[in-house]
Amino acid sequence: MNLTTHDIRNVVLLGHSGSGKTTFAESMLYESGAISRRGVIEGKNTVSDYTNIEQERGNSIFSTLMHVHWRSNKINIIDTPGYDDFVGEVVSSMKVADTAMIILNGVSGVEVGTELIWEYVEKFNTPALFVINKCDHEKINFEATLEQAIERFGSKVIPVQMPYTDDNGNFCIIDALRMTMYVFNEKGGKPTKTTIPALHMPQAIEMHNALVEAAAENEEGLMEKYFEEGSLDETDLAKGLTIALANQEIYPVFCASALDNKGSGRIMGFINDIAPSPADRPDATLENGNNLACSTDDNTSLFIYKTLSEPQVGKVSYFKVYSGTIKSGDELVNQNTRETERLNQIYVTEGKTRTAVDSLIAGDLGVTLKLKNSHSNQTMSTKGVEREIEKISFPGSRIRTAVIPPSKSDMEKLMKALHQIEEEDPTLKVEQSAQLKQTILHGQGQLHLDILKYRIEKVNGITMEFGQPKIPYRETITREANSHYRHKKQSGGSGQFAEVHMRIEPYTEDMPDPHGLTVRKKEVEELPWGGHLAFYWCIVGGSIDAKYINAIKKGIMQKMEEGPLTGSCCQDIRVCIYDGKMHSVDSNDMAFMLAASAAFKESFKNAGPQLLEPIYQLEILCDSKIMGDVMGDLQTRRAMIQGMDASGHYQKILAKVPLAEMYKYSSTLRSISQGRAKFSRTFDSFQSVPYTLQEELTKSHSKSMEEV
């Protein structure tokens, strides 16, 4: 089939877990003739969800690329996970999709997972349509689900179809766009067309008129024709709806039963006729702010939106061709690493089945293998072409856990495996914290980290365990204190001598110079862990030679990296060196480092030491029915409730919570809400730890130091 960019449709399937995305994709493949037999999730034989872990769990974990040929077009389909923990797979898929198909569970209605997805639909300005699935289920509530969708996503949500059961018990779909009724037998598949029953004709006409008005509003010529004739013919209606959908002025709603293969053919027909091609979408934004049109007449640029490591295969790179034509054997330059890569072979995929092709044109999605220096979120272009597609902005982490190290022999293998998965999954961060002396994993939720553990153990054969991560506390002071320390050591030959007098006080920006001291030199340094050290040299008369300034400062910094209270980093302190003594023979850098470190420790203890803890801004979206339980749990976590507000038909809770109280919060919230709530968190500030807790932490640190 000779395709142009206008013949391509890139569709991403979105929805809450259990809404039926994978099953719907299976129906699309079967209905188009891409597969001869429909798989089922229980049978572990669907085209999507083909990995062992997905088949064991019975739900999607990774996005899956598939495609069908429907009439004159090629429809690329990306099935995505429904759990919030795997939002990275959703975001990367939406980056390259041109239409979002949001599957709603007609029995459960609009679920919280769909709320999260809609944020990204709006962020990417993606044309969208809704499919209310399970419409032949005995507990279907189509009207309630439709009302919820309109309430949450606005008046642009307009039904195209509605379900109906005829006198013979057959499942039917009344289509207000075509003004016909589709009658399905028990096996589903291709329906029989018939007239709409008189009882439902008024409602169908009302729905049809709403579609006509939406189509006419987006094109001046169509609006004039609509006013003159009172309606639009099929060609004009299709033209107007194409414009309306592309501009996100309409979100049409369809009916289906994915499990029984009812309704997918009509929806693919709509995608074929109405959904925008890559050429119809706005130009891609480049990192430098310029735009790139999706055209085969330009040099080649492709964007890698996902990478995956497969056993016996190696690295698999999924990409979208944003311009030009890519051919097997082409050499492209990675715009991020400047490395040249040869694409020895390119493929189209049907889940795990890859079919080699000679070329792919602008707008199409494909796969290549074994790229050495190219990764997710990177652009590759023709040699001599300098342009980089705007990167995907992935959400920050919401959960952290410590890795309990296995044997020393396995630790190196474990870190290699973790960094490989980190490369595949941008929502996972591996931190080797020198401060906490732990390896910390940052992820989206407990399920996210549990799946990571499963992969490490099954694929790499390495046993790993999770533990409670330490908290990155900070130490500071609340008042001024002075101290001095003399370091003197004689051990035969030249000795060591240094005496340092210092004043420390809390540092604030634009604070006045210290009283009673003459400032000769001052430095304000931003510390690597946050906060500041203000270092003032106030020596008068040369009691300490200026050549020892760096040594004294280094001694202070060493003690600030491991504070006196709990061994945590110190911040926001001003240190003034105002007196001291030196020896012409025995003084040296080491002596002044040790003296400065000891003087800082002594003065710190007398300056009202204060332990600070990280506080996070927490945003929770939940059903009003469980709001009390969620609030009650937050109160046990020393949370400060900031406010509550409605968000659609969900409640939004804003709170500030200490990081120390957030351990396993993801699992707790999932248990309280039965998976129907979500949360996000962002760092807010460091705040004082309550006195009793500070005492407890200080004693614990002292005891641990004695045991060493």
SS3 165: strand
CATH topology for 475-607?
Ribosomal Protein S5; domain 2 (3.30.230)
Query: Quick one: DSSP state of residue 426?
Result: T
Distance separating alpha carbons of residues 97 and 80, to the nearest angstrom: 12
- Cα angle value 646/652/655 (rounded, 5°): 140
Q: Residue 150 in contact with residue 133, Cβ under 8 Å? A: no
Please check the confidence at residue 14 and state whether its pLDDT lies above 80. yes
CA angle 548, 553, 558 (to 5 degrees): 130
Please report, rounded to a whole number, the percentage of residues in the chain having pLDDT higher than 70: 98
Q: What percent of the chain has pLDDT over 90?
A: 72
Q: Which two tokens stand for residue 183?
A: 């009658």
Model confidence at 683: pLDDT above 70: yes
Which residue in the block uniquely carries the two structure tokens 């003004």?
Answer: 179
* Structure confidence by residue, pLDDT tens digits, 566-613: 999 999 999 999 999 999 889 999 999 999 999 999 999 999 999 999
Query: What does residue 590 show for φ and ψ, rounded to 5 degrees?
Result: -60, -40
**Is 2.40.30.10 the CATH classification of the domain at 285-382?**
yes
| Distance of alpha carbon 14 from alpha carbon 120, whole angstroms | 11
How big is the CA angle at 55 (ends 392 and 139), to the nearest 5 degrees? 90
Strand, helix or coil for residue 565: coil
Residue 219 banded pLDDT, cuts 50, 70, 90: confident
Confidence of residue 707 (pLDDT cuts 50, 70, 90): low
On whether the CB atoms of residues 86 and 448 are closer than 8 A, the answer is: yes
**Cα–Cα distance measured from residue 335 to residue 386, given in angstroms and rounded to the nearest whole number:** 7
Q: CA 451, 684, 121 angle in degrees (round to 5)?
A: 55
Inform me whether the pLDDT recorded for 653 exceeds 90: yes
Measured distance CA(413)–CA(262) in Å, rounded: 49
Quote the strand ranges of 115-216, DSSP E: 128-133, 157-159, 161-165, 171-175, 180-183, 192-194
Tokens 């097997």 sit on residue: 328
pLDDT at residue 420 above 60? yes
Does the pLDDT value for residue 345 go beyond 90? Answer: yes
Instruction: Give pLDDT, residue 1.
Output: 65
pLDDT of residue 457: 87
Report the pLDDT value the prediction gives residue 226, as an integer from 0 to 100. Answer: 67
Higher pLDDT pick, 670 / 184: 184
221 Cβ neighbours under 8 A, 6+ residues apart: none
The token pair that represents 652 in the structure block? 């939004």
Which H or E run contains 701? helix 691-707
Q: Which CATH number fits domain 611-692: 3.30.70.240, 3.30.70.100, 3.40.30.10, 3.30.70.1450?
A: 3.30.70.240
Assigned fold of 399-467:
Alpha-Beta Plaits (3.30.70)
Q: What is the pTM of this model?
A: 0.87
CATH class of residue range 5-194+250-280: alpha beta
Compute the distance between CA of residue 558 and CA of residue 287 in angstroms, rounded to an integer: 40
Look up residue 467 and give its two tokens: 């533990």
Instruction: Tell me if 399-467 shares its fold with 475-607.
Output: no
pLDDT tens digits, one per residue of 477-525: 999 999 999 999 876 667 899 999 999 999 999 899 999 999 999 999 9
Domain residue spans of the chain: 5-194+250-280, 285-382, 399-467, 475-607, 611-692
Considering only 92-101, 412-421, 659-668, which range has the smallest mean pLDDT?
Answer: 412-421
Q: Does position 341 have pLDDT exceeding 90, yes or no?
A: yes
